[in-house]
Structure 1
Amino acid sequence: MREVMILGSTGSIGTQAIDVVRRNPDRFRVVGLAAGGSQVEVLARQALELGVDVVAVAKASAVQDLQLAIYAAAQKHGYSAGEFAIPKILAGPDAASEAARWPCDVVLNGMTGSVGLAPTLAALEAGRTLALANKESLIAGAPLVKAAAKPGQIVPVDSEHTALAQCLRGGRREEVRRLVVTASGGPFRGCKRADLTDVTPEQALAHPTWNMGPVITINSATLVNKGLEVIEAHELFDIPYDRIEVVVHPQSIVHSMVEFHDGSTLAQASPPDMRLPIALALGWPDRVPDSAPACDWSQTSTWEFQPLDDEAFPAIRLARAAGERGGAAPAVYNAANEECVSAFVDGRLSFLGIVDTVAHILDEYTRGDTPVSPGGVSTLADVLAGETWARSRATQLIASPAATPDEKDLSAWT
């Protein structure tokens, strides 16, 4: 039996991971949970159901509410005082990192955003297998993460990267010609740039295939998420950027492919259900039977593959350029985007302004027009400095319409 720590337990990845554990009680046991603290009732129910040893919340002010919620959940299930063990509660900004060091076999990092970097490093340094759904931590701090990780210690959870990992079992690294990452195209597939001028948050959140959190869903609409996945694929598999391609596949059945130098291509196919990659990551290298429904080959179906429209969706080429530039550029890309997405949801920035503003900030960073050195990343402080500047600069640009960049700012990165 594998003991699992789930970071981000109340989010999309976390709740689906709990479902995987619930279906496989003979294979997995959850020893701890970590969450932001805004959904204490959900967290309390999870802790009670799973009988965890520890619960971590980022908001220290949520501790008392969490304790009360645990007692309320216990009473609702008919427990009387003394019949259940209250888990140890960790609180504060370092709570998730402390939870990542808790004795266990696998740490599933399902947190959203670069806030997951410190817990990622903590899990690796503690020698845990890291099931990584928090792609931002690898993107923002790749040199630190890769230095801390032993061979095979990181197992990807993103459907695209778990697909690549499975396909790469079919050949040696030196036989790989290129990686092909698939993208659904999001809710605006087929649109031109001019069609996206008046996009609303509600439209951007209407993903046609996946049910994800708001940040990832909007990142999928801009294709920033796919840009982040290109960087992640490079860092996970050490394949050069010019050998990583993105193609649009609206059905989201083929999750990614590996092309070998003899002309063969291996593809991983399954219906869009994150329980499969989550279960595979928790059980890696073994598969977990019946993790999710398989493709129904008795039914007629059509799979489409289309080229990416770089003009309408420049986020991927922007991410590729940031990754090739190195240093803190990927961290700047990600942090600036997070601020821009928040502003878009709040109605303070247009949809097109998200990627345009990120491009402008990356251009400033590369030219050295910042207090942050465009050099390498050797410490967590280097990453945080780049992110802090990027967030601050994004806030300034968003607040000043006269300074808000436009399409021409993409030219330096294309």
Structure 2
Amino acid sequence: MTIDFNPLYPKLVNLILDTVFVVDESGQIVFVSEACWQLLGYSPAEMIGTPILNYIHSEDRERTLNAARRVMSGRSHTDFENRYLHKDGHAVHILWSARWSEEDRLRIAVARDVTALRRADQTRNALYRISEAAHEAETLRALCDGVYSIIGELFPESDLYLGFHQASSGRLNLPDWRTKNGWIDWQVTPDSALAEVFGSGKALLASRDPAREGLGLRHDTGSGVANWLAVPLVSQETVLGVLVIEHSSATVEYDEADQSLLAFVATQVATVVERKRAEEHLRFLAHHDGLTGLTNRSLFYDRLETALRSANRNEGRLALLYLDVNDFKQINDTMGHEAGDQLLIEMAQRLRDCTRDADTVARMGGDEFTVLLTDVHGRDSVENAMAKIREILTLPVALGGATVRVSCSIGSAMYPEDGDTASQLVSKADSAMYASKRQL
């Protein structure tokens, strides 16, 4: 029995899970199978008679045209990949097999959706690159810049916000992408979608707030367009910060696949951020006093040596102050070591408050502190600085329910008058401090 398959061809084509396209030599779609619904969200009736270029991602049009010309010259394609735009606006990665029918002057192609495979590739690449960025980045900001580049490739048309939560203030610190090292301070307003993310510790798809970039609209006030997506950075059940992407177009929506991908990246980022913060804290402890947070003896000598080299090159002047708290042992003995520690912390903060950012305050050990004053103009300016320090340190201090007053002894040394090396200046200032103490 002879079977006529011609009537069956349309049915057979429409049973194929991949989408079949037939395009004429002018680029018009003359046939498309019903699988186009699933692939791009359009019906065959919507696509037939329209240019195939209408559906191709703008960044892939030129190379797609070049590939089409090769097919039309008689060279079949079996592994060409490009991106089309779904009816809802998101990109679809398509792998093509195409050939040219010279007799019919038609380009016949089968399109397979490989978006899921590309997402898996992107996820693996993101994990590798985040690990690489964590290894190479020396600071938290450098890590943020690496993440910014990675997210920019995963979501190329979205704006990115990467914020770190400050538990004490409820605010966020965000890298200022317009500058190399700058940061932005953000208030998380209670009526925003971002506040909901911090409150729940869960990812959220919501609508972009056009009046407040990055904050998002809550569900009950949004337009229903999911063009805002935030995932928390969570480590050991603590919300460290948040990753936010948003799109300015109301025709582009994120979906659960986007949320899963960003959440995966956020998990890696949170782990790296926690480790990077720990590393920075260890570096800080290596160069700072554990009780007061001041520069320690080792870092102080490094800065003093650097300041001396600079002063020598520029014929500048600097001063070194050496001071200690009078009768500190008596406070320790009568009020306890905890009160003594609180006094040292208070003295350290007062020294920070009455010196310039360019100066260095250090704890040398016990109740002894040093202050490095750079770019001084003469001994009078040094005496004025010492008088200011004495005045501030002698203000009353509340310790354990009591109010006490303390005084300090200060010695000074100037470069180049009192020495031209670190050891000479420290020795001179130390001797002057003890001479001052003996006069009490």
Q: TM-score by structure 1 length?
A: 0.26
- The structure whose residues are more often strand, as a share, is 2
Greater relative contact order (CA < 8 Å, ≥ 6 in sequence): 1
- The structure whose residues are more often helix, as a share, is 1
Q: TM-score by structure 2 length?
A: 0.25
**Structure with bigger gyration radius:** 2
